[in-house]
């Protein structure tokens, strides 16, 4: 069996999740390195996931000819620089969402990828969630006709720590971006205009950093479909993430994931266990699938399935939503028109 040798840049929450997913399910991938500027945590968990080396200098990974691909799992504000460096060194790239925090930096990173002729996949893993994949397949098969309206609810159980908030780019670019990507995916079109209103209602350190923890975004797509996305950083009772899509011929709904389907009938009514406790639990089913598509694209010499263009177009929605929310005006903030036709 031909093995793919990789390095993971960034050994925090998602870097560790990816290492675990690969170690437990992908015998044909070798994690030669995890690189992190603060390597202590990865030094602890790395050996449990078959990581051969934990280093603090990413150049060691880039300069190793045996490394075919890198997973960029560092803080968002570092992604574009690492994409450019990976491309210069001829490595295929899986980069976590969002792609970076400025259009100019994203465009420079995508140009470097194109020039080097390497692969780039963006970590929009929610497309590969079993429920959302089925919803997409239903749309493709014409089961609900043409999508007219998409409603996505995405609310985290607990907020990330303040250090994460500071480098995240804000909730709309960091968290809602998953939903904006799903909207494009389901609508099969690019955004024409975006309206967003947000506030900090729940978590004081989020507001202190100029960010919102509650927001509603409305996206009008070029093909006439409208999407409504509501987000919240903290429910306190588990993760809510569900989708409803109204089409010309029907309607589809996917609900929240629960820990189990147990229901206890008591004198006081029905009792159930909770919602999936966080997004890692909720979407762990999607990680082997999206990572598998990346490694398949390397082995089979095929294009990646979530591309740099997906990353850029989705960020355009995120930037428009962010500035609209900050302006707190009732007028629509028009997205920069996409280069691609609807």
Ligand X SMILES: NC(=O)c1ccc[n+]([C@@H]2O[C@H](COP(=O)([O-])OP(=O)(O)OC[C@H]3O[C@@H](n4cnc5c(N)ncnc54)[C@H](O)[C@@H]3O)[C@@H](O)[C@H]2O)c1
Choose the stretch contacting ligand X; rule: CB under 6 A; options: 20-28, 32-40, 62-70, 226-234.
32-40
Nearer to ligand X, 36 or 92 (CB): 36
Nearer to ligand X, 147 or 169 (CB): 169
Q: Rule CB under 6 A: is residue 100 a binding residue for ligand X?
A: no
In total, the chain counts a number of residues equal to 342
The sheet that has 92-95: what strands, in order across it? 53-55, 29-35, 4-9, 69-72, 92-95, 120-122
Q: How far is CA 277 from CA 12, 57, 239, in A?
A: 19, 34, 6
Site for ligand X in 117-176 (CB under 6 A): 123, 125, 164, 174
Choose the stretch contacting ligand X; rule: CB under 6 A; options: 33-41, 59-67, 102-110, 212-220.
33-41
3-state SS string for 272-315: ECCECCCHHHHHHHHHHHHHHHHHHHHHHCCCCCCCHHHHHHHH
Contact pick of 8, 18, 31, 36 for ligand X (by CB under 6 A): 36
Contact pick of 96, 190, 211, 310 for ligand X (by CB under 6 A): 96
Contact pick of 54, 73, 139, 243 for ligand X (by CB under 6 A): 73
Conformational region of residue 142, where left means phi above 0, alpha means psi within -120 to 50, and beta covers everything else: left
Nearer to ligand X, 75 or 307 (CB): 75
CB 233, min distance to ligand X, A:
13
Q: Rule CB under 6 A: is residue 18 a binding residue for ligand X?
A: no
CB 251, min distance to ligand X, A:
27
Nearer to ligand X, 99 or 324 (CB): 99
Asked if 333 and 193 touch (Cβ cutoff 8 Å), the reply is yes
What number of other Cβ atoms are within 10 A of residue 3's Cβ? 11
DSSP secondary structure, 66-126, as one string: T--EEEE-S-GGGHHHHHHHHHHTT-EEEEPSS--S-HHHHHHHHHHHHHHT--EEE--GG
Q: Rule CB under 6 A: is residue 285 a binding residue for ligand X?
A: no
Q: Rule CB under 6 A: is residue 314 a binding residue for ligand X?
A: no
Choose the stretch contacting ligand X; rule: CB under 6 A; options: 72-80, 113-121, 150-158, 185-193.
72-80
Q: Is 284 exposed, middle or buried (0-12, 13-18, 19+ CB in 10 A)?
A: middle
CA 299, CA 323: separation in Å to the nearest integer? Answer: 41
Nearer to ligand X, 216 or 281 (CB): 281
CB 311, min distance to ligand X, A:
11
Contact pick of 4, 78, 153, 256 for ligand X (by CB under 6 A): 78
- Closest residue to bound ligand X by CB: 12
Asked if 159 and 165 touch (Cβ cutoff 8 Å), the reply is yes
What number of other Cβ atoms are within 10 A of residue 339's Cβ? 9
The residues, ordered by sequence, that sit 6+ positions from 267 with a Cβ below 8 Å of its Cβ are none
Choose the stretch contacting ligand X; rule: CB under 6 A; options: 35-43, 61-69, 86-94, 198-206.
35-43
Nearer to ligand X, 92 or 96 (CB): 96
Nearer to ligand X, 56 or 272 (CB): 56
Residues of the shown chain interacting with ligand X in the complex, contacts defined by CB under 6 A? 9-15, 35-38, 58, 73-76, 78, 96-97, 123, 125, 164, 174, 279
């Amino acid at each position: 069996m031909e093995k793919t040798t990789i390095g993971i840049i960034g050994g925090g929450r998602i870097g560790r999740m990816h290492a675990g997913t690969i170690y437990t399910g992908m015998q044909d991938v070798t994690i030669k390195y995890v690189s992190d500027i603060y390597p202590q945590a990865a030094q602890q968990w790395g050996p449990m996931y078959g990581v051969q080396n934990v280093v603090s200098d990413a150049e060691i990974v880039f300069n190793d000819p045996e490394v075919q691909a890198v997973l960029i799992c560092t803080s968002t504000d570092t992604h574009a620089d690492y994409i450019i460096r990976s491309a210069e060194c001829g490595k295929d790239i899986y980069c976590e969402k969002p792609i970076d925090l400025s259009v100019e930096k994203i465009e420079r990173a995508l140009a470097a990828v194109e020039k080097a002729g390497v692969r780039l996949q963006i970590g929009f893993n929610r497309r590969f969630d079993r429920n959302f994949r089925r919803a997409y397949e239903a749309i493709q098969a014409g089961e609900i006709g043409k999508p007219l309206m998409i409603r996505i609810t995405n609310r985290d159980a607990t907020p990330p720590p303040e250090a994460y908030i500071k480098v995240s780019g804000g909730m709309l670019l960091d968290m809602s971006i998953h939903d904006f990507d799903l909207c494009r995916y389901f609508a099969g079109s690019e955004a024409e205009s975006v309206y967003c209103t947000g506030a900090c209602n729940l978590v004081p350190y989020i507001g202190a950093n100029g960010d919102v923890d509650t927001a509603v975004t409305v996206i009008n797509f070029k093909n006439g479909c409208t999407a409504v996305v509501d987000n919240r950083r903290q429910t306190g009772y588990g993760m809510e993430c569900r989708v409803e899509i109204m089409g010309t011929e029907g309607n589809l709904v996917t609900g929240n994931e629960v820990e189990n389907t147990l229901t206890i009938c008591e004198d006081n009514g029905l009792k159930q266990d909770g919602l999936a406790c966080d997004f890692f639990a909720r979407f762990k089913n999607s990680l082997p699938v999206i990572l598998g598509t990346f490694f398949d694209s390397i082995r089979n010499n095929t294009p990646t399935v979530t591309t740099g263009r997906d990353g850029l177009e989705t960020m355009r929605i995120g930037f428009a939503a962010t500035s609209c929310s900050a302006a707190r005006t009732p007028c629509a903030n028009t997205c920069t028109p996409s280069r691609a036709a609807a």
